[in-house]
Amino acid sequence: MKKITTLPHEKVRLTGGFWQAKRELGREVTLPAIRDRFLETGRFASLDFNHPDPHIFWDSDIAKWIEAAAYLLEDRRDAEIEEFIDGCVRKIALHQRPDGYFNIHFDTKEPAARFTRYTDHELYDLGHLIEAAVAYKRATGKRELMDICVRYVDLVDRVFRVEHSAAFDTPGHEEIELALYKLYQETGEERFLTLMRYFIDTRGTSPRDKTYDVFGTNRYSQAHLPVREQTTAEGHSVRAMYLYCGMADLAWEDGDEELLRACETLFDNTVNRRMYVTGGIGSSHVGEAFTFDFDLMNRTAYAETCASLGLALFARRLLRTKPRGLYADIAELALYNGSLSGLSLSGDSFFYENPLEIQPAVLAHNRVYAKARDEMPIPERVKVFSCSCCPPNLLRVIGSVGDFAFGEDGETLYSHLFMDCEAETRFGRVAETTKYPFEGSVEYRLPDGAERFTLAVRLPAWAEEGYTLTLNGGLLDICPEDGYLYVTRAWKAEDVLRLEMPFAARLVEANPAVHEDCGRVAVMRGPIVYCAEEVDNGRFVKDIALDREAAFTPEWSEELGAPILRTTGTRRVWPAGNPLYSARKAQRAHTEIVLIPYACFANRGVSEMTVWLLEK
Amino acid sequence: MKKITTLPHEKVRLTGGFWQAKRELGREVTLPAIRDRFLETGRFASLDFNHPDPHIFWDSDIAKWIEAAAYLLEDRRDAEIEEFIDGCVRKIALHQRPDGYFNIHFDTKEPAARFTRYTDHELYDLGHLIEAAVAYKRATGKRELMDICVRYVDLVDRVFRVEHSAAFDTPGHEEIELALYKLYQETGEERFLTLMRYFIDTRGTSPRDKTYDVFGTNRYSQAHLPVREQTTAEGHSVRAMYLYCGMADLAWEDGDEELLRACETLFDNTVNRRMYVTGGIGSSHVGEAFTFDFDLMNRTAYAETCASLGLALFARRLLRTKPRGLYADIAELALYNGSLSGLSLSGDSFFYENPLEIQPAVLAHNRVYAKARDEMPIPERVKVFSCSCCPPNLLRVIGSVGDFAFGEDGETLYSHLFMDCEAETRFGRVAETTKYPFEGSVEYRLPDGAERFTLAVRLPAWAEEGYTLTLNGGLLDICPEDGYLYVTRAWKAEDVLRLEMPFAARLVEANPAVHEDCGRVAVMRGPIVYCAEEVDNGRFVKDIALDREAAFTPEWSEELGAPILRTTGTRRVWPAGNPLYSARKAQRAHTEIVLIPYACFANRGVSEMTVWLLEK
pLDDT digits (tens, 9 = 90+) for B566-594: 999 999 999 999 999 999 887 899 999 99
Cβ burial, residue B304 (10 Å; 0-12/13-18/19+): buried
Nearest residue to A507 via CA among A556, A557, A550, A553: A550
Cβ neighbours of A615 in B, within 8 Å:
584
Contact residues for B565 (Cβ-Cβ < 8 A; gap 6+): B505, B523, B525, B530, B552, B553, B554, B555, B594, B595, B596
What spatial distance separates the first Cα and last Cα of chain A, rounded to whole Å? 47
How, if at all, do strands A496-500 and A441-445 pair? antiparallel
Q: Does one domain contain both B534 and B482?
A: no
| Same domain flag for B483 and B562 | no
Is a pLDDT exceeding 50 seen at residue B150? Answer: yes
B446 and B575 share a domain?
Answer: no
Report chain B residues whose CB lies below 8 A from the CB of A523.
none
pLDDT digits (tens, 9 = 90+) for A44-71: 999 999 999 999 999 999 999 999 999 9
pLDDT at residue A94 tops 90: yes
Read off the pLDDT band of B98 (50, 70, 90).
Answer: very high
Residue A411 lies in a domain: yes
Query: Alpha-carbon distance B216 to B224, whole Å?
Result: 8
Total domains, chain A: 2
Residue positions counted in chain B: 616
Over range B205-226, report the average pLDDT: 92
Question: B272: which chain A residues are within 8 Å (Cβ-Cβ)?
Answer: 579-580
CATH of the domain at A480: 2.60.40
Note whether A521 and A606 are same-domain residues: yes
Whole-number mean pLDDT of chain A? 95
Question: Is residue A263 domain-resident?
Answer: no
- Note whether A514 contacts B580, CB cutoff 8 Å: yes
pLDDT in tens, B381-390: 999 888 889 9
- A510 and A585 fall within a common domain: yes
Position A364 scores a pLDDT of 76
Nearest to A195 by CA among A142, A153, A144: A153
Q: Does A365 contact B513 at a Cβ distance shorter than 8 Å? A: no
Q: Is residue B594 part of a domain?
A: yes
CB-CB neighbours of A345 under 10 Å: 18
Domain extent at residue B374: 268-400
Q: Does residue A559 sit in the same domain as residue A590?
A: yes
Residue where a domain stops, chosen among B467, B483, B500 = B500
Q: Is residue B495 part of a domain?
A: yes
Q: Please identify which of the residues A131, A174, A234, A288 carries the catalytic annotation.
A: A288
Question: H/E element holding B528?
Answer: strand B528-533
Phi, psi at residue A502, to the nearest 5°?
Answer: -65, 130
B165, B192, B219 - which closes a domain: B192
Give tens-digit pLDDT for A482-496: 999 999 999 987 899
> Is the pTM higher than 0.90?
yes
Q: Supply the pLDDT for residue A181.
A: 98
Amino acid sitting at position B411: E
Calpha distance B213→B160 (Å, rounded):
19
Q: Does residue B589 share a domain with residue B539? A: yes
Q: Is A114 on the interface with B (CB under 8 A)?
A: no
Residues A586 and A486 in one domain: no
- Distance, in angstroms, between B595 CA and closest chain A CA? 18
Q: Is residue B381 part of a domain?
A: yes
Given a cut of 50, is residue A372 above it in pLDDT? no
pLDDT at B372: 45
In a domain, A537, yes or no: yes
Do B471 and B528 share a structural domain? no
**Is residue B236 one of the residues assigned to a domain?**
no
Look at residue B240 and tell me if it is in a domain.
Answer: no
What is the C-alpha separation between B147 and B137, in angstroms, rounded?
10
Distance CA B94, CA B362 (A): 49
Q: Is A263 a catalytic residue?
A: no
Neighbours of B10 (CB within 10 A): 15
Q: At what angle do helices B190-202 and B176-187 cross, to 10 degrees?
A: 160
**Backbone phi and psi for residue B454, each to the nearest 5 degrees, phi listed first:** -100, 130
Are the C-beta atoms of residues A504 and A312 closer than 8 Å to each other? no
Give the separation between CA A78 and CA A87, rounded to whole angstroms. Answer: 14
Same-domain pairing of B418 and B394: no
Q: Give the separation between CA B337 and CA B463, rounded to whole angstroms.
A: 18
Q: Are A546 and A603 contained in the same domain? A: yes
Beta carbons within 8 Å of B238's beta carbon, 6+ residues apart: B282, B288, B304, B306, B307, B310, B389
Do residues A608 and A515 both lie within one domain? Answer: yes
Q: How far is B336 from chain A (nearest CA, A)?
A: 18
- Number of helical H runs and strand E runs in chain B: 18, 23
Over the stretch B486-522, which tens digit does the pLDDT of each residue have? 999 999 878 999 999 999 999 999 999 999 999 999 9
For chain B, positions 525-544, list CB contacts with chain A under 8 A.
539-540, 542-543
> Domain ends where: A500, A534, A560?
A500
Tell me, yes or no, if B275 comes closer than 8 A to chain A by beta carbon: yes
CA distance B11 to B330: 23
